Amino acid sequence: MTASTKINETAEQADKSIQDAEKKIRDLADRAERVILDSLETVRVQSRVYADTASDSLDTAQRYVTEHVQERPLAATAAALGVGVLIGLLFSSRNR
């Protein structure tokens, strides 16, 4: 076997190894893409559930506040005024 033949065989083996590595990398990238897309879909579905739950909670809270304000409008007004004064005092003390 001549040196030229050995070089050619080695080059062919290197080329085959490179092609195998490229195929494995492509397969791995495809698998990673599928996992990422599946994970994104799961997050999307979960976030929709959380958003719906939050929306329901806000609706419930709004109904609760509305009912109590309608039952006791003067108490609600006084409470809102008190909260406003407290917030005003907090902000004014920060500026000093």
pLDDT tens digits for 40-70?
999 999 999 999 999 999 999 999 999 999 9
* C-alpha to C-alpha distance for 66 and 78, rounded to whole angstroms: 15
DSSP assigned state of 88: H
* C-alpha to C-alpha distance for 22 and 35, rounded to whole angstroms: 20
Average pLDDT over residues 80-94: 91
| DSSP class per residue in 23-65 | HHHHHHHHHHHHHHHHHHHHHHHHHHHHHHHHHHHHHHHHHHH
Half-sphere exposure of 27 (CA within 13 A, CB side): 6
Q: How confident is the prediction for the chain on average, in pLDDT?
A: 92
Number of domains in the chain: 1
Q: pTM of the predicted model, to two decimals?
A: 0.51
Helix axes 73-94, 3-71, angle to 10 degrees: 130
Domain that includes residue 39, residue range: 3-94
